[in-house]
Amino acid sequence: MIFLVVDDSPTMRRIVINALKTFGYNDVVEAGDGQEALERLKETKVDFVITDWNMPNMSGLELTKAIRGDASLAHLPILMVTTRGLKQDIIEALKARVNNYVVKPFTPQVLKEKLDAVQKALQGS
Amino acid sequence: MKHKDISVLLQKADELRALFVLGQRVIPFLEEIFIFVSEIQPLLDEINNSIQENLKKMPSASKQLSKVTEATEMATTEIMDIVDGILYKVDIINANFKRLIDISQKNRENPIKLLESIYKSIKKGQDLKPLLPSLATSIAAMKNVSNNETDKILRETDELIQSISNDSSSIMISLQVQDITAQQIAAVNNLLETIQGKLGTILAHFHQSDIGELVHHEINYDEKIKVSQLHRKVAFDPDAVEAIANKEVRQQQVDDLIDKHSQGGVEAIEENFSQDDIDALLAGSGADEEAIEEIAEEEVADIQGGAAEAQDVVDAQEEVAEAQDEEEDPFAQFSQDDIDALFGK
């Protein structure tokens, strides 16, 4: 399974990738913003997107909308990982059709739970 | 009239004429001063308003920076505590290895002694039966050491290594503060850039005006330096640092919200959380409800009116947050459970 980790903070990308590796997911590509993520998606066959919200050039929300608007990518599961925890933010993310939502700072356990939950939901549907 | 009186009168008339001549010369100068002051007044008003406006923003910037300091101190303390724990555990593991080495040496010594005795006895053609008790004792001792002490040390060491692995994860979590504080500092940088822009505009107006000609010293100001561009471009959540303060409950609340979404969709959340939630938010806070609504409405109107720069959004959020600051609002942020409630686990 190939993950795309999108975050403008190299520290956060490293933390997420490190956590993914402890879960046994070693195939990871990374991007610093939404635009770069779309480029990675053209180059690599990604199975799962983990994205931050606040990013320069193209935000995680805009990236989610772009993915959902592209027939070839629309099926991709998206997990939003962000500092934004306001009710309105979550509603906006849901409207953009993210599959799940994790607020920073998170524990690896929470990240694993959400990844499993998304995969389980996709298998069920 | 005497001749003397007439000459005094003429002298006075001459002085009066000189006074009028002076008046005629002074009037245009006074007019210039009047025009100058009328032109300068709007600029002074602008400077005054801008200073007031920027002064208002300063406490907010200071507050944000002090939160960054608090957050980094907290994270550093957490990390140092964890590292202290790791060092202590590493000491125990070292001691355990030494004990295992001792046991391993003992385990080797006993069989060697026994084998040497057997070897000597066989070489001398002696009966081996007398050696049986010491053989049995040695076997029992070896089994005992192997089964009890070694196993206990290995189990303890395994637990310690697992615990160090968990500690490493905890350090990783604490290091997320770097991203959060970077966003907070980016918000302050954005604020500084807004102030820089406003002061730069005033300075330009000042130099274009007549009063600018009175200033002999050029102000050395490099308008090309933008504080927000001194580092990589950082998009920010102005309330990012709040994430640390409420980290225990936020995910829980978000999960609950997502559970609700999974049961009834986005519409259900918006219905469930619209007025009731706002009422709950405001009822629970000690803040002036009207003031909060007024600030929010004004700012939203400004933003929707097209005058919305990033700073407007930041300011709006800050002002609303400040108005609500009097009492912590447990519903303002959502936890992982709220999110789970929306999305379904």
> Rounded CA gap, B52 and B58, in Å?
10
E strand map for A58-99: 78-82
pLDDT for position B316:
44
Q: Using CA of residue A58, residue A63, residue A65, residue A67, what is the dihedral sign? A: positive
Q: At residue B123, does pLDDT exceed 80?
A: yes
List of chain A residues whose C-beta atoms are within 8 Å of the C-beta of residue B182: 9
pLDDT for position B82:
94
Q: How far is B313 from chain A (nearest CA, A)?
A: 14
Strands A28-31 and A78-82 come out as unpaired
Q: A101 vs B182: CB contact, 8 Å cut-off? A: no
ipTM metric? 0.76
With CA atoms as reference, the chain B residue closest to A9 would be: B179
Which one of A15, A89, A90, A114 would you mutate to disrupt binding with B, by most B Cβ within 10 Å of its Cβ? A90
Say what percent of chain B tops pLDDT 70.
Answer: 66
pLDDT for position B147:
67
- Mean pLDDT confidence for B51-68: 82
> Rounded CA gap, B314 and B312, in Å?
5
Please report which helix (H) or strand (E) contains residue B88, including its range: helix B3-124
> Rounded CA gap, B330 and A27, in Å?
39
Q: A19 vs B172: CB contact, 8 Å cut-off? A: yes
Q: Using an 8 Å Cβ cutoff, are B331 and B282 in contact? A: no
List of chain A residues whose C-beta atoms are within 8 Å of the C-beta of residue B270: 91
pLDDT for position B145:
63
3-state secondary structure of B69: helix
pLDDT for position B285:
37
Full DSSP string of B305-336? III--HHHHHHHHHHHHHHHTTS--TTSB--H
Q: How far is A106 from chain B (nearest CA, A)?
A: 7
> Rounded CA gap, A40 and A32, in Å?
11
Q: A100 vs B172: CB contact, 8 Å cut-off? A: no
List of chain B residues whose C-beta atoms are within 8 Å of the C-beta of residue A18: 172
Q: How far is B332 from chain A (nearest CA, A)?
A: 6
The residues pairing with A79 across neighbouring beta strands, listed in sequence order, are: A50, A100
In the numeric block, the tokens 């700012």 are attached to: B299
> Rounded CA gap, B142 and B110, in Å?
8
- Cβ contacts below 8 Å, chain A against chain B, sum to 132
Q: Using an 8 Å Cβ cutoff, are A98 and A67 in contact? A: no
pLDDT for position B65:
86
User: Within its chain, how far is the Cα of B13 from the centroid?
Assistant: 80
- Mean pLDDT confidence for B131-146: 76
> Rounded CA gap, B198 and B221, in Å?
13
Task: List pLDDT tens digits, range A3-43.
Answer: 999 999 999 999 999 999 989 999 999 999 999 999 999 99
- Classify residue B218 by its DSSP letter: P
Q: B235 vs A8: CB contact, 8 Å cut-off? A: yes
Task: List pLDDT tens digits, range B209-265.
Answer: 666 666 666 666 666 666 666 666 777 777 777 777 677 678 888 888 888 887 777
With CA atoms as reference, the chain A residue closest to B334 would be: A85
Q: Using an 8 Å Cβ cutoff, are B178 and B124 in contact? A: no
Q: What is the pLDDT confidence band of residue B148, given thresholds at 50, 70 and 90?
A: confident
The residues pairing with A100 across neighbouring beta strands, listed in sequence order, are: A79
Q: How far is B119 from chain A (nearest CA, A)?
A: 53
Take residue A100 and report the two structure tokens written for it. Answer: 């799940």
- Mean pLDDT, chain B, integer: 74
> Rounded CA gap, B207 and B205, in Å?
6
Task: List pLDDT tens digits, range A99-116.
Answer: 999 998 898 889 999 999
pTM for this prediction: 0.65
Between B239, B254, B266, which is nearest A95 by CB?
A: B266
Q: How far is B220 from chain A (nearest CA, A)?
A: 31
Between A85 and A66, residue with greater pLDDT: A66
Q: At residue A73, does pLDDT exceed 60?
A: yes
Take residue A44 and report the two structure tokens written for it. Answer: 């690599």
List of chain B residues whose C-beta atoms are within 8 Å of the C-beta of residue A16: none
> Rounded CA gap, B50 and B67, in Å?
26
Between B250, B332, B342, which is nearest A103 by CB?
A: B250
Sheet harboring A100-103: ordered strands across? A28-31, A3-6, A48-51, A78-82, A100-103
> Rounded CA gap, A20 and A23, in Å?
5
pLDDT for position B309:
41
Q: At residue B322, does pLDDT exceed 60?
A: no
Q: What is the pLDDT confidence band of residue B47, given thresholds at 50, 70 and 90?
A: confident
